[in-house]
Amino acid sequence: MTVTVGSPAPTLELEAYRRGEAEPVTVALGGERERWVVLFFYPRDFTFICPTELAAFAELEDAFRAEEADVVAASTDSYWSHKAWFETNAMVSGVDYAVVADTTHELSFNYGVLVEDGSALRGTFIVDPHGIIRWACVNDMKVGRNVGIHAPVAASKAARYAWAVCVPLV
């Protein structure tokens, strides 16, 4: 299954890393919830471009929260890989949002971002409080995201910042 704009988000519970938590936390995605979700995928931990994107999302987290949206990151790396990277790399020291460990590749596959080597493309998805995907953008791994550009792309509060997380860098 690959999601499309206007379709229900897959309902999954996944293990995630969250700074300050001693053990993995469970993140429930899809279905009804009180807030929007800005779900973004990145290829791998311990890479050179990914920390800049993760840090940029962290800088915008308060703006998303003010728009009633929760930021959730995901890669196919394990919880332990996330923990090791996020607790030792100064570039991602400001990341407080949940980082999903999609080791089964179910989430990445369902969102259409899984590639043959088991990593994920750079995908950004906005899910409304009813669990419907309202905005999606997927970039090739070699094309970074420019998280600093703010422009409206839809009529929802959360999507106001969507353009910022998906304009390709060329």
Helix or strand holding residue 99 (H, E): strand 98-101
Angle at 140 between CA 139 and CA 142, to 5 degrees: 120
Report the alpha-carbon distance of residue 168 to residue 145 in Å, rounded.
5
User: In the numeric block, which tokens belong to residue 100?
Assistant: 């999903």
Angle at 167 between CA 34 and CA 140, to 5 degrees: 100
Report the alpha-carbon distance of residue 55 to residue 57 in Å, rounded.
5
**Marked catalytic residue, from 37, 50, 72, 126:** 50
Query: Annotated catalytic, 50?
Result: yes
Q: Which residue has the tokens 């999606």?
A: 136
Q: How many residues does the chain have?
A: 170
User: In the numeric block, which tokens belong to residue 76?
Assistant: 């196919």
Report the alpha-carbon distance of residue 29 to residue 55 in Å, rounded.
22
Active site residues: 50
